[in-house]
Amino acid sequence: MPGMSNHVDESFFRYMQEKLATEIGRAIEEQVLEHSRVTQAIQPFVNRMNELLQAVRMLLDQLGVVGITASLPILRSMYDAHIQALYILNDPEKAESRAMEFMEYEWIEQHLDRERMCRFHREIHDQIVSTPEYLAGVQVREKKIAELRDQYRTRAGKREGKDDFRRKWYSGDLARLAEVVGLRREYDYYQNELSSAVHATPKALVGVRPFKTPEQVAYLAWTLYFRVLGGIARFHGVMLNEEQSDQIESVMNDHLALATRVMLEDRGLG
């Protein structure tokens, strides 16, 4: 549990990164030999989480308390990504189909980007669609959209026969995914606090910060990263040693108690 230091001890990062994360990652790499749709879909989440974690580490290391504010939008991105990754891994019977939903949705995103470009930047759009590179892939793109149309259309789109595609690879919203993976209460708190930082609401700019110390920020960032590693290990039945298992077990559950404690302390009630 994080303390109240204004700086994060470098030994904390070294222990988390060089020992636990590296060792757990190595165990996963050595024991998960199959290359499935699930591993293909999850790897981009692991890569992104690691990049964002290193960004948080750099900000806290270089800026101390000031780095808290700069880290909040990054934490929001990490939180979104880790919920999606856990959702894919949550149900072994549905993991393959969820992984495919994630990977195939890139075709829909590209289609939506082209539509948006056509509506708002027509001159640029017309230049792009006339290039040899674009024209060479037209048939492939049209074929994929035709294959995916019914899967990703909204209810209104299906009812009216229009290409009204949903704006996420998953159905519903992120709150539903958080509910599925057992983190809805925590999600409601952190999504509100971190979204306020991203959108510069009055509360975020002049109100109470969701974290008092860099150590608390680092603790949440590592919690999210280890949850994804833990989700992978559990899904594939990876054997971990006692120290690694204890670390994974300690982060998998709802951490709302920590957030509540910080909030009460900030209001002089803790």
- Per-residue model confidence as pLDDT tens digits over 25-78: 999 999 998 889 999 999 999 999 999 999 999 999 899 888 999 999 999 999
Cα distance from N-terminal residue to C-terminal residue, the chain:
16
Higher pLDDT, residue 137 or 20: 20
One-letter amino acid for residue 78 of the chain? M
pLDDT at 178 exceeding the cut of 80: yes
Residue located via tokens 């509100």 = 192
Is residue 171 very low, low, confident or very high in pLDDT (cuts 50, 70, 90)? very high
DSSP category for residue 165: B
Higher pLDDT, residue 160 or 229: 229
Tokens of 242: 């006692």
pLDDT at 131 exceeding the cut of 90: no
Tell me, what's the pLDDT at 126? 80
Is residue 132 very low, low, confident or very high in pLDDT (cuts 50, 70, 90)? confident
Burial class (CB in 10 A: 0-12, 13-18, 19+), 145: middle
Tell me what the mean pLDDT of segment 117-132 comes to. 79
pTM of the entire predicted model:
0.87
- Displacement of CA 82 from its chain's centroid (Å): 4
pLDDT at 12 exceeding the cut of 80: no
